[in-house]
Amino acid sequence: MSDTYLPADAIRTLFSRAMSAMYRAEVPAYGTLLDLVKAVNDEVLAADPEQHARLAALGELDRIGEERHGAIRLGTAAELATMRRLFAVMGMYPVGYYDLSVAGVPVHSTAFRPLEDAALSANPFRVFTSLLRLDLIEDAALRQEAAEVLETRSIFTPGCLALIDTFEAQGGLDAAQAESFVAEALETFRWHAEANVSQTMYRRLHEAHRLVADVVAFKGPHINHLTPRTLDIDTVQRRMPEAGIAPKAVIEGPPARKVPILLRQTSFKALEEPVDFLADGSNAPGRHTARFGEIEQRGLALTPKGQALYDRLLAETRATITPKADGSNAAAYMETLGTVFAAFPDDAETLRREGLGYFRYSPTGKPASAADLGRDAEALVAAGLLRADPIVYEDFLPVSAAGIFQSNLGDEAAQAFAANPNRALFEAALGARVIDLHQRYAEAEAASLARARAALAA
């Protein structure tokens, strides 16, 4: 028996690499996308030595090639609660509550991710995790049948459950246990072509909502996409067709800017995959579309004030023009977005002074006098004693997430539900509170300033 445990960061890296290798083998376009993203990132860094130096100084350079997020959709409260325990083994915790019912998707969600700066820079792997809301499905009989199917499945291997118990009992996993945990946990996220239901039942679920079929009909919550991070999403989007990939019509999120904010995302359509349904006499070869590809570009994390400005400008854009799924108004949408977002300051200085974004402070190396030590952060930056770099947004955006869901569920899936957030219900299922995302950034900013001040005084 070993008395040293593998750090959670190392287990997370093993897991995200194993997941990436599995997805690459199962979804060949994902491999193509990884290659394209790497090529574009290398070009961006080569052409922009300043950005290269800044990312290197912040310790962000190494994480970019490793960086990705995935997404899964769960069926029951018990699955979500166990998933929380599973992710805790890898140092990933639920941050944020996202209600997608407004956008016609019957789920609510959180993102499991690392919290601390050091953990994020070691490997920021995140999983957007949704819980199906059968309560939003109208047909009571179908709701009942779907719940019964979900009750009978077990999405975790016995070995995985045992290792989660071991982790909780000993407070860590040794290297051999961690390796077998990763292999066992991977089984939950794998694609299983054998369905849990007959084709007739699949069709009924599908008619209620495609997402309901995607969750209920299968043995487990197959990872439905894995998203690498690019430093230039417009270029990757433009080059995707050359690489044989057809992206969705518009990039979700803010427009292209000098100082990127929040998150910009685009995806390509799901693959059609063969499915073996349970025999019910009527079996024709079945198909299901679930898995897709996505890329993202991350920028400055916004304060509540900055987020409110973002929400207002996005709502204003969408009140004028909503992107059509067929792409016919994509150029007009992107143009309106750009015009409306001209109202969002686009230099780091103003963003910081107006309190729109979160920044990480560090000493520049210029020596400070005793008088300097009493000055505020703004004055220290102005005097060239401190530098302020954007803190990267580590979370998700509900309107964008809805756009990603919709583009991959097919246009017929666009369906209205009344806005119906129920965070209390989600947290009851999770068995924990979700962590407030703004608080994490505010703490990271304050801690960096305290460290920088201490360094100036030393």
Binding site for Ni ion (CB under 5 A): 227, 294
Stretch that binds ligand OOG, among 331-339, 340-348, 355-363, 396-404 (CB under 6 A): 396-404
- Considering only 128, 156, 191, 359, the residue that binds ligand OOG (CB under 6 A) is 128
Integer Cα distance of 105 and 212 in angstroms: 10
Two tokens, residue 151:
């009750």
- Those residues whose C-beta lies under 8 Å from the C-beta of residue 35, and which sit 6 or more positions away, are 243
Asked whether position 396 contacts ligand OOG by CB under 6 A, the answer is yes
Nearer to ligand OOG among residue 110 and residue 265 (C-beta):
265
**CA gyration radius for the chain?**
23
* Site string (195-214) toward ligand OOG, x via CB under 6 A: --------------------
Q: How is the beta sheet containing 272-278 ordered, strand by strand?
A: 194-198, 272-278, 286-289
Supply the minimum distance, in Å, between the C-beta of residue 214 and ligand OOG: 9
Q: Are 209 and 241 in contact (CB under 8 A)?
A: no
Residue number with the shortest CB distance to ligand OOG? 401
Asked whether position 300 contacts ligand OOG by CB under 6 A, the answer is no
Nearer to ligand OOG among residue 77 and residue 399 (C-beta):
399
Nearer to ligand OOG among residue 293 and residue 345 (C-beta):
293
CB atoms within 10 A of CB 388: 23
Ramachandran assignment for 150, one of left (phi > 0), alpha (psi -120 to 50 degrees), beta (any other): alpha
Supply the minimum distance, in Å, between the C-beta of residue 264 and ligand OOG: 11
- Considering only 265, 303, 406, 448, the residue that binds ligand OOG (CB under 6 A) is 265
Torsion on CA atoms 13, 161, 6, 69, rounded to nearest 10: 20
Stretch that binds ligand OOG, among 3-11, 117-125, 137-145, 394-402 (CB under 6 A): 394-402
- Please tell me the number of Cα atoms within 13 Å of 77 on its side-chain side: 10
Supply the minimum distance, in Å, between the C-beta of residue 75 and Ni ion: 19
Q: Are 182 and 11 in contact (CB under 8 A)?
A: yes
Supply the minimum distance, in Å, between the C-beta of residue 237 and Ni ion: 15
Nearer to ligand OOG among residue 361 and residue 393 (C-beta):
393
Integer Cα distance of 317 and 257 in angstroms: 16
Asked whether position 71 contacts ligand OOG by CB under 6 A, the answer is yes
The binding site for ligand OOG (CB under 6 A) comprises: 71, 73, 128, 130, 224, 265, 294, 396, 400-401, 404-405
